[in-house]
Amino acid sequence: MTTLAISDNGRVLVPAALREELGFKPGTRIYAEVKDGSLVLTSASQRTAQRRAYFADLMKRLNVPEDASLVDEFIAERRAEAARD
């Protein structure tokens, strides 16, 4: 386990070994959140992967076919509504 210190201005330096292990490169946007009393840092690509996995699981639980395009269905519904007006 690595110990980090908070500087006087509130900055935390993440050591190179941890940055390398996590794939954090200079300029990487990092998201910070508190989960169960712990600070969790996540890169944008990790966050995107988590969201995609969450929605893929949700679509499976809702029995939505994998090849279905909800965007196309939404647009078709809106066009049908506009045609009725």
Domain ranges of the chain: 16-84
pTM of the model: 0.56
In the predicted structure, residue 80 carries a pLDDT above the cut 90: yes
Task: State residue 22's pLDDT score.
Answer: 86
DSSP string, the chain: -----B-TTS-BPPPHHHHHHHT--TT--EEEEEETTEEEEEEHHHHHHHHHHHHHHHHHHTT--TT--HHHHHHHHHHHHHHH-
- pLDDT, tens digit, for every residue of 12-70? 999 999 999 888 889 888 899 999 999 998 888 888 999 999 999 998 999 888 888 88
Task: State residue 15's pLDDT score.
Answer: 92
Task: State residue 69's pLDDT score.
Answer: 85
